[in-house]
Amino acid sequence: MDIYDPQMQVIHDSITIKTADPIGFIEITEKVRDAVKRSNIKDGIVTLTTQHTTTALCVNERCERLQEDMKELLTRFIPPGANYKHDHGTVDGRNNAHSHLMSLFLKTTEMVPVSKGKIEIGTWQSIFFIELDGPRAERNISVTIIGNDK
């Protein structure tokens, strides 16, 4: 089987966002759609990777109450200020051990199929960037789109 495809392209893009809450779910679905549209890739895959250790990505339902439930679960499971060792000597002065620990249970990368130039997600699905240590003036997501434009 020949897997070489001379029409295969790799497009790199990025998404930059500002966050406002200590823990927040920021929907980025439209930003991902825009990146795929700019790429002109018709069939392939888009890979999103957060470039921060206190953030995550997920595909889930867009429902404000559900996002509130998720925040409450994370803070109940890993509460801020629980005398974590990291908080006694951070590199940037932020007592954010809980944010790093939360990220252990979440994903830093999401992959979504692209078909006919559109991302393939379900009716109730949205793509979220999850801030675990906000607010932050700038957060970056690497976007890699692999596929063909035919």
Q: What is the pLDDT of residues 80-134, one digit of tens each?
A: 999 999 998 888 888 999 999 999 999 999 999 999 999 999 999 999 999 999 9
Instruction: Domain ranges for the chain, please list them.
Output: 9-148
* Residue 38: partners with Cβ closer than 8 Å, 6 or more residues away: 13
Instruction: Specify the CATH architecture of the domain 9-148.
Output: Sandwich (2.60)
Residue found under tokens 């823990």: 23
What kind and span of H or E run contains 3? none
What pTM does this model have? 0.93
